[in-house]
């Protein structure tokens, strides 16, 4: 299947208006890709999804909209979109009769000469835009605040719609430049029309922090799915599958805007004994050495559990100790762990605007309660405190479900704050999965020069 772009009446990208209903299709552009640099009958006959040459076959405008500049503006927008979103395409070519050379030249095409393609009596001329010789590629990206429906709350993530051919060094540099907790990169994967319509599209997804690539990131997964729906790259009712280092992750959105993500759960180890040196170092680094009335260097009764999962350390404390957390980032960074989860049983939340709560909590009545609270610190990954951590809830959900039930609402009590609804799978549904739900909001769009 080739690349198709179109314009509807009332959208930008066309010439004069009037004469049609809003949303009516004005026209479309159709093209196919090939590996060769020259156009021939053979190269134009088949579409190669990995081809570096894009051949324009058709620029079609409905009869009643002709001679209004739609064709010119539509083709310009089509080529611009290819340059922005398809880094593998190096050139755009077409063949045209003499009478249309001026129109195509106004769209940026240059004449290469007579085409070897023979079709009818009139000669055809080949025209081309070399994208590599133009300005450096501008890559479209968006920034999304995840696990909140309010801007400047939740956890921000940048979403790029390319993986630049798998260039991990480039993706890491972009993540450093963006300088937020997570930047993610998407690449649409081949699928048959039946697969795409029944199961939704599949995108390869990779996550990078300023400190390195990670195997799983919940809030950036939510942001990626939200961006694909919000930018119109995926139909609003379709699920999205992500192929990742942690397996295939599926996202769906309900009518209220909650995005559900099906993730693998993380098992917490048995508690580390109180005389364990590693446990003592963790408790001291989190500023909990005297929590709950213990003496100097002792953890006291405010620390209820210290354990590990595959990636992180998890510490349960009393609500009183939770409110007194005072982490030493240098001490935490010296401990071998991706991050540190500190959690306590839920309690009544302060109302929006009160100290400690940046905004009303999604899905919770203002001043109401949640089942559990948490904070997450990851200085070894370049993140002192993460605003809202989806992957940490893959551990928190099963941990608290064993005490409180399988369906819960958690609040991550960072300065920005954010809400995560969790559901742990029943044994009859298969162990090892947890559904995380959150909302999101698009904060801004941008162009990144590559």
Which residues are annotated as catalytic?
Answer: 182
- 287, 324 contact by CB (below 8 A): yes
Rounded Cα gap, residues 326 and 286, in angstroms: 6
Residues 6+ apart with CB under 8 A from 184: 157, 158, 159, 160, 205, 206, 207, 208, 217, 220, 221, 223, 224
Q: Is the dihedral of CA 362, 365, 371, 373 positive or negative?
A: positive
For residue 293, the SS3 value is: coil
For residue 426, the SS3 value is: coil
- 394, 249 contact by CB (below 8 A): no
Rounded Cα gap, residues 277 and 279, in angstroms: 5
Residues 6+ apart with CB under 8 A from 173: none
- 98, 111 contact by CB (below 8 A): no
Q: Which residues of 66-93 are buried (b: 16+ CB within 10 A; e: fewer)?
A: eebebbbbbbebbbeebbbbbbebeebb
Rounded Cα gap, residues 419 and 430, in angstroms: 26
Q: What secondary structure does DSSP assign to 50-114, as a single string?
A: T-SEEEEEEEEE-GGGTTSSHHHHHHHHHHHHHHHH-TT--EEEEEE-GGGHHHHHHTT-EEEEE
């Amino acid at each position: 299947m080739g690349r198709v772009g179109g314009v509807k009446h009332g959208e930008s990208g066309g010439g004069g208006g009037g004469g049609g209903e809003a949303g009516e299709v004005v026209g479309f552009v159709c093209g196919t890709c090939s590996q060769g640099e020259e156009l021939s009958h053979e190269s134009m006959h088949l579409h190669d999804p990995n081809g570096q040459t894009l051949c324009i076959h058709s620029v079609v405008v409905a009869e009643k909209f002709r001679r209004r500049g739609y064709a010119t503006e539509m083709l310009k927008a089509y080529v611009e979109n290819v340059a922005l979103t398809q880094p593998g395409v190096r050139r755009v070519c077409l063949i045209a009769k003499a009478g249309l050379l001026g129109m195509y030249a106004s769209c940026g095409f240059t004449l290469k000469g007579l085409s070897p393609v023979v079709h009818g009596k009139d000669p055809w001329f080949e025209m081309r835009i070399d994208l590599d010789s133009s300005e450096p590629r501008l890559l479209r990206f968006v920034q999304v605040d995840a696990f909140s429906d309010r801007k400047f709350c939740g956890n921000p993530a940048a979403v790029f719609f390319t993986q630049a051919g798998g260039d991990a060094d480039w993706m890491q540099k972009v993540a450093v430049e963006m300088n937020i907790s997570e930047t993610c990169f998407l690449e649409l994967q081949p699928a048959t029309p039946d697969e795409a319509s029944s199961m939704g599209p599949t995108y390869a997804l990779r996550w990078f922090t300023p400190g390195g690539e990670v195997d799983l990131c919940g809030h950036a997964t939510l942001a990626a799915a939200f961006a694909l729906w919000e930018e119109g790259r995926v139909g609003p009712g379709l699920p999205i599958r992500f192929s990742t280092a942690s397996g295939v992750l599926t996202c769906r959105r309900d009518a209220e805007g909650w995005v559900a993500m099906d993730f693998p759960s993380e098992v917490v180890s048995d508690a580390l004994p109180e005389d364990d040196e590693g446990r003592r170092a963790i408790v001291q680094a989190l500023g909990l050495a005297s929590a709950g009335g213990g003496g100097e260097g002792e953890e006291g009764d405010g620390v209820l559990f210290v354990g590990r999962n595959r990636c992180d350390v998890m510490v349960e404390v009393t609500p009183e100790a939770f409110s007194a957390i005072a982490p030493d980032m240098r001490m935490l960074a010296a401990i071998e762990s991706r991050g540190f989860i500190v959690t306590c049983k839920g309690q009544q939340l302060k109302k929006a605007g009160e100290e400690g709560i940046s905004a009303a909590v999604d899905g919770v009545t203002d001043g109401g309660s949640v089942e559990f609270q948490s904070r997450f610190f990851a200085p070894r990954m370049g993140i002192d405190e993460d605003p809202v951590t989806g992957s940490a809830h893959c551990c928190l959900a099963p941990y608290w479900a064993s005490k409180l039930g399988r369906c819960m609402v958690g609040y991550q009590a960072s300065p920005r704050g954010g809400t995560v609804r969790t559901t742990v799978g029943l044994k009859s549904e298969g162990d090892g999965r947890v559904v995380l739900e959150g909302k999101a909001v698009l904060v801004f769009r941008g162009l990144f020069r590559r």
